[in-house]
Every structure is written in C-alpha cells, then in structure tokens.
C-alpha cells in the first residue's frame, strides 16, 4: 500500500503539529476562553458563566457605586509604565551591551570563550536568587548604598524599592540577551570595513555611525526584542526590587491568578500583553523588511 505524497507529508508533520497544537494552541485558546468568563468562588473561574467581553472592559471602565461606568486609568497607567520600564531596560542593555559585544569580538579566541562563559554563568543561578542578591546589594546598609550616600550631593538616596531599582535588576537580568546577538554580529563583522571608512575620511565616531551600527542593525533589533518582550511580562524583579510599589503588568497578572483569585481578569490581561508583544514584533518585522528593500 502506497500513501499519496501529500498524505505522507501530513503523517510526517503530525508529531510537530500535535506538539504545537497541544502545548501552544490549546493553552492559548483555553486562556482566551477563560478571559471571556466570570470569576468563580474558590476555583477562580465560573465555568458556567456566559462568555462576554466584560473583563476587557474592566481594563478601562469600572462600575461606580450607583451603577454608572466611569473611566479607570490605573490599569492603563500600569500598562504604560510596563512599556516604558521595558523600553528603558532595553535602552540600558543596549548602552552597556554594545561596547561589551564590540570589545569581545576583538578579543583572542580563548579570551572570547572565557567572556562567553562569564556572561552565561548567571543563568546557572535561579532568577529569584539573583534578584535577592540585588536586594542585598542595594539595601540601605549595603555597600553600594553607603558608598552612593557618602558621595551624593543630594543627601541620602533611596536605591531600593523604586523604578531605578527595577531598571537595574531588569538590565542585569536581560543584559546577556542583548550581548549575545550583538556579539554574533560583531564576530562576523569585517573589520576592514572600519579601515575603509577611516581611509575615506570618517573619524572613529563617524565610522561607528555610518558603518558599524547600520551593519549591526539586525543584531541590535534581535537583542532589543529579546530584552523588551520578556521585560514587558517580568514580575519577579518588580515585585522584589520595586517592593510591590511600582507594579508592572506581570505583577497584576500574577496577582489575579494568585491572591485575587480572578482568573478571567488575569487571562484578559495576559491576552492584552500577548497582543502588545505581537504588535511590537510585527512592526519590527515590517520595519526590517522595509529596510532590506
């Protein structure tokens, strides 16, 4: 018995399709379904409730005591703050990651390997532990805080439990995601192009702007996405280093599934986050296509 080529191909594809379907498709659909339901008693979801878009409306409007709907900007503000925090982190990662990646690409083989190892070593430790480490570093009686306060012209500075602490923690956590793609670009970079630029009258800064950065563009884009996307959903760092005061989208979602026991609203927030990421990635892809032309 010989199956038709189409059937054979379908058969070969089945394991992959099944894996993606079961592990990605079904959970996504399930979450979207939950986001349309109402919250239930102890289980978090009232499975018998009538599906509606009420949870999405809750992001912007809330019901006043007398039943009228008024605009509630608190969730939108958190959303905005998350985007800004993620953008700030991405910027900081680029600022620190670019010189490191450039420098690493110029090293000898052994030194490069050592640097790569050093950059990957933090991943061997749990994210939670690493954030606790920052908690200790930045706290009031910590060495860093004491040093900063000793030289600060503005009097004592609070390093912990604010947006700065979150930015530091997030930058630390995601820096390798920026360095590695940039390093990959610079490792393949033809340094003779830099000589050519100098030869044609470009100073170091001009050569960086006109030759190095444009060619490193795809790496910068990849690194930025790798930092920005997970940053948007981060919740461990804001919870620990932000002290629960500066909430990000990830914290709200976590709270809905945890303490608040409001799974449908948490699911709605997750769907919004997902949509946001899709928008970012699509626009980046469009931008890249346009530039390639």
Partner 1 sequence: MSGSSAVSIRNISKSFGRGASAVRVLDDVSVEIGEREFFTLLGPSGCGKTTLLRLIAGFELADRGVIAIGGQDLTQTPPFRRPVNTVFQSYALFPHLTVEQNVGFALEEQGMARDKIRSRVGEALEMVRMHSFARRRPSELSGGQQQRVALARALAPRPQVLLLDEPLSALDLKLRKEMQIELKQLQAEAGITFLFVTHDQEEALTLSDRVAVMQGGHILQMGPPREIYEAPTHRFVADFIGDINLLEAEALPGDQLRIGQGVTLPMAHGKAGAVTLAIRPERARLTAPGAGTLDATLIHSAYLGTALLHKLELPGGGTFLLRQSEVAQTPLESGSRVGLALPADALRVLDQ
Q: List residues near partner 1 by CB under 8 A.
A: 190, 192-193, 195-203, 206, 210-211, 214-215, 217
User: DSSP secondary structure string, 221-260?
Assistant: HHHHHHHHHHHHT--HHHHHHSTTTS--HHHHHHHHHTTT
Q: How far is the CB of 211 from partner 1 (least distance, A)?
A: 6
Torsion angle, alpha carbons of 90, 92, 135, 176, to 10 = 70
Q: How far is the CB of 290 from partner 1 (least distance, A)?
A: 14
Q: Which two tokens stand for residue 230?
A: 């997970």
Question: Which residue number, 157 or 193, has a Cβ lying nearer to partner 1?
Answer: 193
Question: Which residue number, 214 or 244, has a Cβ lying nearer to partner 1?
Answer: 214
Q: How far is the CB of 77 from partner 1 (least distance, A)?
A: 40
Question: Which residue number, 167 or 185, has a Cβ lying nearer to partner 1?
Answer: 185
Q: How far is the CB of 198 from partner 1 (least distance, A)?
A: 4
Instruction: Yes or no: say if 177 and 227 are a contact pair by the CB < 8 Å rule.
Output: yes
The contacts of residue 71 (CB under 8 Å, 6+ apart) are 60, 61
Q: How far is the CB of 280 from partner 1 (least distance, A)?
A: 24
Question: Which residue number, 9 or 204, has a Cβ lying nearer to partner 1?
Answer: 204
C-alpha span between 137 and 134 (Å, rounded): 5
Torsion angle, alpha carbons of 232, 29, 53, 273, to 10 = 10
Question: Which residue number, 80 or 196, has a Cβ lying nearer to partner 1?
Answer: 196
Residue closest to 264 by CA, chosen among 61, 30, 60, 73? 30
Question: Which residue number, 166 or 220, has a Cβ lying nearer to partner 1?
Answer: 220
Degrees to nearest 5, angle at CA 280 with 276 and 282: 115
Q: How far is the CB of 207 from partner 1 (least distance, A)?
A: 8
């Amino acid at each position: 018995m010989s199956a038709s080529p189409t059937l054979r191909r379908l058969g070969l594809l089945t394991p992959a399709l099944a894996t993606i379907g079961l592990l990605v498709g079904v959970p996504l659909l399930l979450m979207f379904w939950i986001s349309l339901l109402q919250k239930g008693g102890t289980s978090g979801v009232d499975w018998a409730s009538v599906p509606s878009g009420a949870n999405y409306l809750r992001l912007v409007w809330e019901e006043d005591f007398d039943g009228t709907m008024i605009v509630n900007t608190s969730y939108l503000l958190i959303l905005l703050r998350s985007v800004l925090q993620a953008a700030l982190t991405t910027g900081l990662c680029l600022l620190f990651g670019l010189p490191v990646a450039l420098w690493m690409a110029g090293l000898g083989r052994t030194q490069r390997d050592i640097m790569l190892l050093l950059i990957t070593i933090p991943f061997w430790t749990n994210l939670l532990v690493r954030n606790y480490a920052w908690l200790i570093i930045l706290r009031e009686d910590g060495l860093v805080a004491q040093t900063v306060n000793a030289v600060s012209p503005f009097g004592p500075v609070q390093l912990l439990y604010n947006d700065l602490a979150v930015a530091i923690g997030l930058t630390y956590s995601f820096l390798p995601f920026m360095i590695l793609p940039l390093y990959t670009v610079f490792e393949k970079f033809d340094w003779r192009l830099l000589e050519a630029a100098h030869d044609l009258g470009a100073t170091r800064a001009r050569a960086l702007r006109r030759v190095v950065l444009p060619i490193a563009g795809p790496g910068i884009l990849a690194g930025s996405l790798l930092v920005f996307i997970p940053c948007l959903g981060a919740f461990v760092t804001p919870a620990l280093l932000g002290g629960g005061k500066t909430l990000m989208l990830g914290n709200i979602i976590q709270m809905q599934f945890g303490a608040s026991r409001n799974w449908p609203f948490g699911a709605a927030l997750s769907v919004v986050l997902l949509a946001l990421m899709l928008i970012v990635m699509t626009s980046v892809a469009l931008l890249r296509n346009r530039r390639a032309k």
